[in-house]
Structure 1
Amino acid sequence: MWWLTILTIIKRFKHKVVLNDEDAKTANATVGSHPAVERVRRAFQNDLENIPAFLFIGLVYLFVPAPNWLIHLLYYTYLLARIGHSIVYAVYILPQPSRGICFGLSFIIVLYMSLHVLIVGFIDYGKRHKM
C-alpha cells in the first residue's frame, strides 16, 4: 500500500495535477485529477478495502490449529495476489481477467481462513458446552 502512495505522488507530478489551490500555486500545476492518478487511487482504495480484513483474520488464524505449511502457503499466496493486483491495476495495466484473478484469489483466501476460524470456534464451543 505504501508504494501506491508514492506512485500517486509520482503520477501527480508527472501530470501536474493537485487537489488544493495552494499546492497548485507552488507546484505550477492545475487543481483536479487525471485518469492515471485516479487509477492508482482506485488501486489504493481497493487495498484499503481488503488488506485490513486479511490482517485481522490472519492474526486470528494463527490461533487455529492448522499446519505451518498451510499458514505459510495462504499468507504468501495472499501477499503475491495483492501485489499482483496492484501491479496489473496501477502500474502495468493488463486486461481482465488478470485483475479479477488476483482479487478473487486473495478474496478466497480470506474467506477460507474466516470459515476455518468459525468452524473451529463452533467445534470448540460445542466441546466446552457438551452440545
Structure 2
Amino acid sequence: MAVMIRNEVFSCFVFYGVLLVIKMYVVAIITGQVRLRKKAFANPEDALRHGGLQFHREDPFVERCRRAHINDMENILPFLFLGAIYSMIGPSLSVARFHFLVFFLGRMLHTAAYLLALRAPTRSLAYTVAQIPCVSMALQILMAVAAYA
C-alpha cells in the first residue's frame, strides 16, 4: 500500500531526514568496525569475547568516531523536530529545500571532517553552516506561533 505525503515541504523534509538518520547508522557501524579493528572495547564482556580483558580499553580513533556519532545525535535530533514543525507552518518549497539541503551538507562535511581529522577550522565551519538553517527555522516557527500565544 502506497502512502502519499501531500505536503511537498514535509515530503522534502522526510527525504533529508531519512538520509541523515541513515548517515547516523553508518557512523555507528563505522565506530563498531573501528572498535573491532583496533581491538578497543567499551565493555569487558566484549573484550573477553575478542581476546581478553587487555582489550577493554579506549582508542583515540574509536573515541573520535564516538564523538562524531554523539555530535550527530546532539544536532540531527533537534533538526528532525524543527524541520517537522517548520514543514507545518507553510514555508515555500524552495526556501525549505534550501534549509534542509544546507543542514544536510553541513552535517555530511562535519562528519567527514571529524572522521578524517581534517584541518581546523573545517569541522567548526561545517557545524556553524548547519546551525544557520536550524536557527532560521526556529525563528520562523516562533514568529508563526507568536500570534497564538
TM-score in terms of structure 2 length:
0.78
* 1:68 has 2:80 as partner: no
Aligned to 2:63: 38
Question: Alignment partner of 1:89: what SS?
Answer: helix
**Residue identity opposite 1:2 in structure 2:** Y
Indicate the residue corresponding to 1:106 in structure 2: 130
Amino acid at match of 2:35: R
State the distance in 1 between where 2:130 and 2:43 align. 35
Superposition misfits of 4+ residues, deviation over 3 angstroms? none
C-alpha distance in structure 2 between counterparts of 1:2 and 1:89, whole Å: 16
Query: Size of the alignment, in residue pairs?
Result: 124
* Pair 1:56 & 2:56 matched: no
Structure with the bigger RCO (C-alpha within 8 Å, sep 6+) is 2
Aligned to 1:129: none
Distance in 1 (alpha carbons) for counterparts of 2:73 and 2:103 = 15
| Residue aligning to 1:120 | 144
- What is the percent sequence identity of the aligned residues? 31
Which of 91, 105, 109 is the aligned partner of 1:84?
A: 109
CA spacing shift, 1:125–1:23, aligned 2, 3 Å: closer
Q: CA deviation at 1:21?
A: 2.1
What TM-score do you get using the length of structure 1 for normalisation? 0.89
- Separation (CA, whole Å) in 1 of partners of 2:126 and 2:43: 34
CA RMSD after TM alignment:
1.4
Alignment deviations for residues 31-56 of structure 1 (CA, whole Å, 9 cap, x no partner): 01100000010111111111111000
Deviation at 1:109, TM superposition (A): 1.1
